[in-house]
Chain A
């Protein structure tokens, strides 16, 4: 019997006539890193806000640690740590002061704050930056400070909403290591991202969300296998790259031979292929915006 620490049944969030999240089900097992993937505007952050008690879903039941958060929101809050998409720290006080404030708000005994802060900051190399104001830090260090704040009350579950958005490669890898360290210490991680390499590198299981609905769920390997283990990509008409997926190497090879003159490539299927097949190769909202602005590169005729 799986031990689910995050469960959502029929979560729906509506803003007037617009349905941002449409009857989605989520189940995250204790100790796993669960990826919630989707393009911009798919409903990732809205779902996270509902799961973390920041907003109430229009419909549906959410349970954290087996109990409905609508009935026991304070208990749920004590179990979760949240790092929001924006860096929600007070920018004009120091990193140390931010961490102390967050610990106080979570009612950590004052005698425990110092040792816990030193341990967490030491583990991720934040110590030299403790006395700097947050506004003086680079994006990566700000994000790390936010993660330490979220971990000070030792939550069982850590929600990370697009934690590496806008970071350079080094900072992204540093954060990945940090997430793995926290996960090995027993923290369940729920991470939203639209970077597929991040999901492949970190996540035990992923769900893909598009237009407010869950399109698919499974391990990255399962999702790739479902689409076809092998991908052939080649130049279609009008400069558009085309993709075909096959279960066996032989089938892929046969197709590859038929399109060999069309700049064809044969390779293993990536999670990015699954994501694009599920959510659409073009983000229609971007296309509509391009058309509205009459961009010369608009893909809509």
Chain B
């Protein structure tokens, strides 16, 4: 209880920020996925393209939802932490409070979970109306939220480790951007050469996409992918812990 209570205390300033800027933050996070819906969904879907036995729109929408859980959570957290550490220098104040490092890490992830979940769930509902094949269930909602948690932890780890804005931009360009295109979000991985597929399967967004797509389309749930997501979450948390201890 104490961990949860302290986590929410850490998260409060970010939640105030979210409350003040909710519409702007959510609207800007939805622009890119909506463009994907229009450009790829209507463009390829309208041309009658099928993927893995589904209409392209039904195939693509869960991928875009998974992609949004990454981009809206990671970007928000990593950038906010960078600003709080490097520009506002308000992060130091956390180190002066009687709060555990675990609570600081989890608390800093909350904004990403809230924002990422709102965006992911809005797109899920929208996708449900755009594609008759997509089902909404409690498990799908929970998976979207869990996915935002894992990517928020990635954001915290990156925000703790990356030293400055140019390096954060480099991290975005070399790690996040390739993930958005390569992890089976909009195209099937089956067409990829084996060697490339092995690399792609080592990336967390691939597993988030697999899990969300399975729940949305009602196919067999990929338990190994869920396990991989849990392991990624734990790894990102441990990296953030290490970075925080080192910085002190």
- Contacts from A to B (Cβ < 8 Å): 52-56, 74, 77-78, 80, 82, 84, 86, 88-94, 97-98, 100-102, 104-107, 149
Interface size for B (C-beta < 8 A) is: 21
Question: Which residues does chain A contribute within 8 Å of B95, judged by CB atoms?
Answer: 53-54
A-B contact pairs, 8 of them (CB 8 A): A56-B248, A86-B89, A88-B88, A88-B92, A92-B17, A104-B12, A105-B94, A107-B98
Q: Do the beta carbons of A93 and B13 come within 8 Å of each other? A: yes
Other-chain contact of A100, B12, B21, B89, B93 (Cβ < 8 Å): B12
Q: Is the CB of A91 within 8 A of B20?
A: no
Q: Which residue of B lies closest to A98 (CB)?
A: B13
What would 12 more interface pairs be, CB under 8 Å, given A89-B88, A94-B16?
A54-B92, A54-B96, A55-B248, A77-B98, A84-B93, A88-B89, A89-B90, A90-B17, A91-B88, A101-B9, A105-B99, A106-B97
B96 partner, pick from A77, A90, A93, beta carbons under 8 A: A77
In the complex, B84 has a CB within 8 A of chain A = yes
| Known pairs A77-B98, A90-B88, A107-B98; A102 contacts B93 (CB<8 A) | yes
- Checking A54, A82, A88, A107 against B90 with a beta-carbon cut-off of 8 angstroms, the contacting residue is A88
Contacts of A88 in B (CB 8 A): 88-90, 92-93
Q: Which A-B residue pairs are the 5 nearest by beta carbons?
A: A105-B97, A101-B13, A104-B9, A97-B16, A93-B16
> In the docked arrangement, what's the CA distance between A149 and B96, Å?
12
Chain A min CB distance to B8 (Å): 8
Q: Chain B residues with Cβ under 8 A from A84's Cβ?
A: 89, 92-93
- Bound together, the chains give a CA A98 to CA B88 distance in angstroms of 13
A47 to B86, CA, bound (A): 21
Q: A92-B17, A92-B20 are in contact. Are A107 and B9 (CB under 8 A)?
A: yes
A134 to B124, CA, bound (A): 37
**B154 at interface, CB cutoff 8 A:** no
B10 at the interface (CB under 8 A from A): yes
**Measured CA separation A98–B84 after assembly (Å):** 13
Nearest CB to that of A56 among chain B residues?
B248
Per DSSP, are chain B's interface residues mostly helix, strand or loop, or mixed? helix
**In chain B, residues 90-118, which have Cβ atoms closer than 8 Å to a Cβ of chain A?**
90, 92-99
Contacts of B20 in A (CB 8 A): 92-93
Q: By the criterion CB–CB under 8 Å, are A93 and B97 in contact?
A: no
| Residues of A contacting B10 in the complex (Cβ-Cβ under 8 angstroms) | 105
- How distant is B3 from chain A, measured CB to nearest CB, in Å? 13
Identity of the chain A residue whose Cβ is nearest the Cβ of B103 in the assembled complex: A105
Q: How many whole Å from A120's CB to the nearest CB in chain B?
A: 17
The reply to whether B88 and A52 form a contact with Cβ atoms under 8 Å apart is no
CB distance from A147 to the nearest CB of B (A): 13
Report the minimum CB–CB distance from A24 to chain B (whole Å): 21
* Chain A residues within an 8 Å CB radius of B97: 77, 102, 105-106
Q: What is the distance, in angstroms, from B144's C-beta to the closest C-beta of chain A?
A: 27
Q: Which residues of B contact A97 (CB under 8 A)?
A: 13, 16
Q: How many whole Å from A71's CB to the nearest CB in chain B?
A: 15
Which residue from B9, B17, B21, B96 sits with its C-beta under 8 Å from A52?
B96
A94: B residues at CB distance < 8 A = 16
Residues of the B chain whose Cβ atoms lie less than 8 Å from the Cβ of A78:
98
Q: Which residues of B contact A86 (CB under 8 A)?
A: 89
Bound: A149/B98 CA distance, A: 15
Q: With a CB–CB cut-off of 8 A, which chain B residues contact A100?
A: 12
In Å, the complex CA distance between A56 and B245 comes to: 11
Within residues 203 to 219 of chain B, which ones have a CB less than 8 A from any CB in chain A? none
Across the two chains, which residue of chain A brings its CB closest to B5?
Answer: A107
A108 CB to closest chain B CB (Å) equals 10
A97 to B15, CA, bound (A): 10
List of B residues within 8 angstroms of A91 by Cβ? 88
CB distance from B107 to the nearest CB of A (A): 9
Q: Are B96 and A82 in contact (CB under 8 A)?
A: yes
Contacts of B94 in A (CB 8 A): 105
Q: Could you tell me the distance in whole angstroms from the C-beta of B243 to the nearest C-beta in chain A?
A: 15
Contact status A101-B12, CB under 8 Å: yes
Q: Is the CB of A74 within 8 A of B98?
A: yes
Give the residues in chain A near B96, CB-CB below 8 Å. 52-54, 77, 80, 82
Task: Write the nearest CB–CB distance from B92 to chain A, whole angstroms.
Answer: 6
* Interchain CA distance A48-B97 in the complex, whole Å: 16
- Which residue of chain B has its CB nearest to the CB of A96? B16
Chain B nearest CB: distance from A161 CB in Å? Answer: 11
Expressed in whole angstroms, the Cα–Cα distance for A80 and B90 within the complex equals 17
Residue numbers in B under 8 Å from A56 (CB-CB): 248
CA–CA, A99 and B21, complex, Å: 19
Closest Cβ of chain A to B114, distance in Å, is 15
B98 in contact with A101 (CB, 8 Å): no
